[in-house]
Amino acid sequence: MSKVPLTVRGAEALRAELNRLKRNDRPKVIQAIAEARAHGDLKENAEYHAAREQQGFIEGRIKEIESKLSHAQIIDVTTINADGKVIFGATVDVYEEEADAEHTFQIVGDDEADIKQGLISVSSPMARALIGKSVDDEVAVETPNGLRHMEILDVRYE
């Protein structure tokens, strides 16, 4: 499997979730299973089945996060000299002509993307159009809502 780009912040968030799952959630569900077993007949024990289902979810998520971290290429954008160009991890301020509005986006890995927080996936049409461009460049992006024209106002590496 090839390496998947991930920002330092994204890697820290995954590590924090992994730590929480292993140190808090896993022991709680193990305790819930033990308590449910103490109630007797497991065939008709709803608490036992619910706890086992929760345990399956937690173990699956732990494996998923460990896999993501093992295949991640963690990129610290603050250590890269990109000469003002938009790269993975960069924060970009743009002016959108059609909406007459300014927007701020950070280009992040697929698993970190959250448009409500201004985090756009590196594989999205918007990010692909912005990557490699510099301040004052104009970009046209084909989106599901039609063509959007933007001018890059600022590029930061935070």
Kindly report each contact of residues 110-116 with a partner whose C-beta sits within 8 Å and lies 24 or more positions away, as own/partner.
110/4, 111/4, 111/6, 111/10, 111/14, 111/68, 112/6, 112/7, 112/9, 112/10, 112/13
Residue-wise pLDDT tens digits, 50-109: 889 999 999 999 999 999 999 999 999 888 888 889 999 999 999 998 888 999 999 999
Q: Could you give all domains of the chain from N- to C-terminal order, each with its CATH number?
A: 4-75 (1.10.287.180), 79-156 (3.10.50.30)
Tokens at residue 12, please? 């820290």
Separate counts of helices (H) and strands (E) for the chain: 4, 7
Q: How confident is residue 144, by pLDDT bands cut at 50, 70 and 90? A: confident
Q: Which residues pair with 34 in a beta bridge?
A: none
Report field, pTM of the whole predicted structure over 0.85: no
